[in-house]
Chain A
Amino acid sequence: METISMDHGGGGLKAKKLVEGLLRYFESPYLEPLDDGAVLPLGDGRLAFTTDTYVVSPLFFPGGDIGRLAVCGTVNDLSVMGARPSFISCALVLEEGLEGETLEKVLESIARTAEEAGVEVVTGDTKVVERGTGFGLFVNTAGVGPVLVELGLHKVSPGDALLVSGTVGQHGMAVLAAREGLEFEGEIKSDCAPVNSLVEALLGACPSVKFLRDPTRGGLAGTLWEVAKGTGLGVEVWEEKVPISQEVSGLCELLGIDPLYSANEGRIVAIVPHEEADEALGALRGHPLGRDAEVVGRIVEEHPGKVVLRTRVGGRRLMDLPAGDPFPRIC
């Protein structure tokens, strides 16, 4: 393996290659699908199990903080696996010098978000590392929950509708703006939120949902790329339908970043049978987290394994996976 650079932490090809490299050391049929978590047999039913580590800087950003993010990330991974998030763990790596007040604020946020999501923190761990070896605080959460419905890319077929539950790119741009101290008119807030109740509403109205995913690192483009690669089918996206807030669109324009590649932490991508697209859209829009939901594209037989964007001006182009995190440009 090559020396680790920051690109290995982005949502792009390098991160994917890194994970594939790690996989060679572990053999398990449950690991192989490389989903957001593993689905394990348990008695008569099945259990979803996932883990994630949070290293966001700054610890607090508009719309959230590392604690809220750590709970939402794990809850959302379980939700999009078709599971009901039930119990989570919380492990903290604390850097020498971290102020007690900061830690308390994060813990309060973890507790509040867990309550909001209806999950219990049932186990945990703390470690302290020397000053200079962390960003103050790293958080790991793992979570389990019973699987309610089977979802998966194997169910996806041409003609299916593609939905997104709200405006995209907010989390990535909110954190970038906060980290770099970029000042501009109109604050961008992270969309960070537990999506389990939104997923429940969707599954209730539209039981034949085929696939769900939370488009985190790599953004909407990254998730759709996985859909195209995983199904071997084509994905067609309609640019004018993809909801993007004025603020995100403006900041992205300024920095030369494509909002479709910017991370989300409170959105879901859903693939549903064409006939149920309206019900699914109605169910999403009826939930506070899904008010801006849209049908943004469809699964097609053409251009297999590729995502093609039909642009607002009437052109078309490929939507590929980036190599690493997007860097702002010079001019």
Chain B
Amino acid sequence: MRYIDAFRDGRTARRLADAIGELVGKSRFSFMEVCGTHTVSAFRSGLRSMLPEGLELRSGPGCPVCVTPNSYLDRAIALGRKGMVLATFGDMLRVPGSSSSLLEERARGAKVHVVYSPLDALKLAEDSVGTVVFLAVGFETTAPAVAATVLEARRRNLRKVKFLIAHKLIPPAMRCLLDDPDVRIDGFMCPGHVSVVIGSEPYRPLAEDHGVPCVITGFEPLDMLQGIYLLARQKAEGTAEVQIAYRRAVRPDGNAKAKELMEEVFRVVDDEWRGLGPVPQSGLRLREDFGEWDAEGIPVDVEPTVEPAGCRCGDVLRGTCWPPECPLFGRACTPEHPVGACMVSSEGACAAWYRYGR
């Protein structure tokens, strides 16, 4: 981590910000940072305060827990109430389902473990008496590790571990946004981590068919400024291409091994996104060969899904509503009492606005 400072240099940042200002001039552009990590980085580094007035950064649907629908949480909670051990990444804990959250369930006695790697779920399963369910949420970034873990469970013939899969694919969601007449996007800052896995090719149809520049961007302040600069330059020059501004991590063809793992374990399905609704060919589920490890088939009574009244998470995730425009923001919905998922996740747009932007 010795190289972080180089990507936070104030002088270079200023020069890039000035160059962006010149390119934008009097135009108005709306760029979408697809990834939640971009949203947080832009706020944390104070970068938003350095951009010209005519350039706005909209948060997109790239926060894994934010786009996970309530029904998924409800199912996980129901499995926990049935006595199963739940293994999850930390930021799922506070996300509200229809009537409860995993953190509240744990306070009431449910067995909820925070893990840092899907492999930890295998260890939990080996050590515990009952069934362990791993909550597999996230994009192309985390899916390969989960695929590898499913394969490892099969290799060890470990049947006490199940996977509740809600992995989602980013490019179909981006296409869905471009097809939405309410959404205005002049350029995409494509997610760096997702692109490490999928490469730059999947974005090409978006740029070519819709005429929207796509720049794969890293997460340090200078990475982001460079990404924004390239988008602004494409706008100024009237081009719409896919560029990689994160070459130290992303190759055009992505990570072949990771893609193979996903291909072996998952099938692509139409999937439900919070905010976007059903998106064709945008989700992953286990292939039939791995049915024994699939938690989706476990019979359990799931409460009827209730969406919180007034919550505009959906619009926030599409970039059509700034978080403070939601009537609940900062009043009924705060990080301590979140109503919507975007206020919970450390990567959520509402949480970032609340924490850094008010």
CB-CB < 8 A to A4: which residues of B? 107
Assess whether B94 is interfacial by the CB under 8 Å rule: yes
Whether the pair A327, B336 counts as a contact (CB closer than 8 A) is: no
Q: Which of A12-20, A143-151, A194-202, A212-220 contacts B (4 or more CB under 8 A)?
A: A12-20
Restricting to B8-22, which residues have a CB under 8 Å from any CB of A? 8-10, 13-14, 17
Whether the pair A317, B356 counts as a contact (CB closer than 8 A) is: yes
Q: Which of A90-98, A122-130, A306-314 contacts B (4 or more CB under 8 A)?
A: A306-314
CB-CB < 8 A to B8: which residues of A? 312-313
Assess whether A330 is interfacial by the CB under 8 Å rule: yes
Whether the pair A313, B50 counts as a contact (CB closer than 8 A) is: yes
C-alpha gap A316/B43 in the complex (Å): 9
C-alpha gap A311/B141 in the complex (Å): 28
Across the interface, name the chain B residue whose C-beta is closest to A249. Answer: B1
CB-CB < 8 A to A17: which residues of B? 336
CB-CB < 8 A to B114: which residues of A? 327-328
Count A interface residues, CB 8 Å.
40
Chain A: minimal CB distance from B214 (Å): 20
CB-CB < 8 A to A182: which residues of B? 116
Assess whether A246 is interfacial by the CB under 8 Å rule: yes
Cβ-defined partner of B138 (8 Å) among A6, A253, A331? A331
Chain B: minimal CB distance from A14 (Å): 5
Restricting to B124-139, which residues have a CB under 8 Å from any CB of A? 137-139
C-alpha gap A323/B47 in the complex (Å): 24
Assess whether B334 is interfacial by the CB under 8 Å rule: yes
Cβ-defined partner of B358 (8 Å) among A5, A318, A323? A318
Quick one: CB contact mask for B344-358 with A, threshold 8 Å, 1 for yes?
Answer: 011100000011111
Contact A315 B336, CB 8 Å, known A327-B93, A329-B345? no
Which of A14, A328, A331: most chain B Cβ within 10 A?
A331
Assess whether A52 is interfacial by the CB under 8 Å rule: no
Assess whether A304 is interfacial by the CB under 8 Å rule: no
CB-CB < 8 A to A314: which residues of B? 10, 13-14, 17, 46, 50
Assess whether A226 is interfacial by the CB under 8 Å rule: no
Cβ-defined partner of A312 (8 Å) among B10, B40, B225? B10
Whether the pair B17, A331 counts as a contact (CB closer than 8 A) is: no
Contact A311 B103, CB 8 Å, known A328-B89, A330-B91, A331-B193? no
Across the interface, name the chain A residue whose C-beta is closest to B194. Answer: A331
Interface size class of B (residues with CB under 8 A): 35 or more
Assess whether A3 is interfacial by the CB under 8 Å rule: yes
Contact A329 B46, CB 8 Å, known A6-B103, A180-B116, A314-B17? no
Assess whether B61 is interfacial by the CB under 8 Å rule: no
Whether the pair A320, B222 counts as a contact (CB closer than 8 A) is: no
Whether the pair B91, A311 counts as a contact (CB closer than 8 A) is: no
Chain B: minimal CB distance from A325 (Å): 9
Whether the pair A7, B94 counts as a contact (CB closer than 8 A) is: yes
Whether the pair A315, B48 counts as a contact (CB closer than 8 A) is: yes
CB-CB < 8 A to A319: which residues of B? 356
Across the interface, name the chain B residue whose C-beta is closest to A318. Answer: B356
Across the interface, name the chain A residue whose C-beta is closest to B11. Answer: A314
Assess whether B108 is interfacial by the CB under 8 Å rule: yes
Contact A250 B1, CB 8 Å, known A314-B13, A318-B356? yes
CB-CB < 8 A to A63: which residues of B? none
Assess whether B221 is interfacial by the CB under 8 Å rule: yes
C-alpha gap A322/B354 in the complex (Å): 10
C-alpha gap A163/B110 in the complex (Å): 44
Assess whether B340 is interfacial by the CB under 8 Å rule: no
Whether the pair B10, A246 counts as a contact (CB closer than 8 A) is: no
Cβ-defined partner of B346 (8 Å) among A180, A249, A329? A329
Whether the pair A322, B116 counts as a contact (CB closer than 8 A) is: no
Assess whether B335 is interfacial by the CB under 8 Å rule: yes
Quick one: CB contact mask for A1-35 with B, threshold 8 Å, 1 for yes?
Answer: 00111110000111001000000000000000000
Assess whether B200 is interfacial by the CB under 8 Å rule: no
Assess whether A58 is interfacial by the CB under 8 Å rule: no
Whether the pair A320, B64 counts as a contact (CB closer than 8 A) is: no
Across the interface, name the chain B residue whose C-beta is closest to A328. Answer: B90
CB-CB < 8 A to B65: which residues of A? 330
Chain B: minimal CB distance from A217 (Å): 15
Assess whether A276 is interfacial by the CB under 8 Å rule: no
Assess whether A326 is interfacial by the CB under 8 Å rule: yes
Other A-B pairs, 10, CB within 8 Å; known A240-B10, A256-B346: A12-B335, A180-B116, A311-B46, A311-B221, A313-B9, A314-B10, A315-B221, A316-B49, A317-B357, A330-B64
The 5 closest A-B pairs by CB, nearest first: A315-B46, A250-B1, A327-B90, A323-B335, A311-B46
Q: A interface vs B, CB < 8 Å?
A: 3-7, 12-14, 17, 180, 182, 240, 246-247, 249-250, 253, 256, 258, 309-320, 322-324, 326-331
Q: B interface vs A, CB < 8 Å?
A: 1-2, 4, 8-10, 13-14, 17, 37, 40, 43-50, 64-65, 89-94, 103-104, 106-108, 114, 116, 137-139, 141-142, 193, 221-222, 225, 334-336, 338, 345-347, 354-358
- Ordered by A's residue number, 16 sampled pairs between the chains whose C-beta atoms are within 8 Å are A3-B104, A4-B107, A253-B4, A256-B40, A256-B346, A313-B50, A314-B14, A315-B45, A315-B47, A317-B48, A320-B354, A322-B335, A323-B338, A326-B346, A329-B89, A330-B89
